[in-house]
Structure 1
Amino acid sequence: MDGGSEDSLADRTRRVLAEAGYLTIATVSADGTPWSAVLQYAWLPDPLRLLFGSAVQSRHSRHIAARPRVGGALFVTGESLTSVDGAQFTGRCAELTADEVRRFHATFYDAVLPDPQSRAQWTLPPAALLPPADHRLYLIEVERWWLVDTRTWAHDRIDRRIEMPLAELKVA
């Protein structure tokens, strides 16, 4: 998408969040080894937060337990090079508490399994997302957010980012 179009950064952010479907999260182990994982997600506004589910023994979950700072990216494909869009972010990530699991359970599964039959088949009950179970829901509190800035890409082929002030991201 043309970063100089009439679409505001907030409109583009909402589009990327709604259409990407998957995010890539980057983590670092206690000893400094990097890792990335592709995950389904749901997003929450005001302030921007991202929910995802994962096994507690996954590499990224173990990294988050040791170092909660994460980075990530979302990407939306398009018909041409100038119609793609995406975002990158940094933030803090943690397992949801029992109260938060109950609060966000339906939000997460409604987003990642929009088909009611699939949702009925694949949704884990809240108890399966709490200790000592093998799975958890996680929440990323987004601290900084950048969008692909392609305003001059067609001219110089330099891939840039433009920071979206999160205070400007309000859901109508």
Structure 2
Amino acid sequence: MHTADLAARGRAILDDNHFMTLSTANTHGEPWASPVFYVPDGYSTFYWISSPEATQARNIAVRPRVGIVVFNSQQEPGSDEAVYMAATACELTGAELDRGLEIYLRAAPFSKGPQAFRPPGPYRAYRATVTEHFMLCPHASSEPCPEHARTSDHRVAVTL
């Protein structure tokens, strides 16, 4: 599969799914992974809602670099279709909050109004801005990958 085909598949994965696994770390580097419902704005910006007291929200406040994986959990084992992303995340405020809520609430599957996501409401809006997209190289063989010279699963950078 060529890089353009892999990128097209990556876009389809992001288009067809609604949950991402968000990986964060606290100040000590202890990891935490959370499934969150996301609303994309293109393929490099993702919005979600969370309690500011949730572990991932507290982690983002001290370490904004995050990892994200989007995949179809119903796929057959071994199909390895996922998009892996490195990103920077933040809680939205000011004009960014207005824009984020406009995008998120247009597609969200519930009817909470924007007041639920502003202080003193119980939730906040967050955004991840992707810096890198990766997918697993589709070369499956005991022979080394002709392009990457690896026999194990390995990620390749893609531009979505």
Q: 2:100 aligns to what SS in structure 1? A: helix
- Number of residue pairs the alignment of both structures matches: 152
| Deviation of 1:92 (Å) | 0.6
Deviates more, 1:81-90 or 1:9-18: 81-90
TM-score between both structures, scaled by the size of structure 1 = 0.77
Q: What CA deviation, in whole Å up to 9, does each residue of 1:15-73 have, x standing for no partner?
A: 0111122100111111222111000101112x711111101000000000111110111
**Structure 2 gaps, min length 5:** 143-150
| Deviation of 1:109 (Å) | 3.2
1:17-96 → structure 2 map (5 Å cutoff):
17-45=14-42, 48-77=44-73, 80-81=76-77, 83-96=79-92
Q: Pairwise CA RMSD of aligned residues?
A: 2.3
Q: Which runs of 4+ in 1 moved over 3 A?
A: 77-84, 109-112
Identity of aligned residues (%): 25
**Structure 1 gaps, min length 5:** 114-121
1:105-144 → structure 2 map (5 Å cutoff):
105-113=101-109, 122-144=110-132
Which residue does 1:150 correspond to in 2?
138
- Please identify which structure carries the higher helix content: 1
Taking a change above 3 Å as real, the CA distance of residues 133 and 89 of structure 1, as seen in their structure-2 partners, is same
Taking a change above 3 Å as real, the CA distance of residues 78 and 133 of structure 1, as seen in their structure-2 partners, is closer
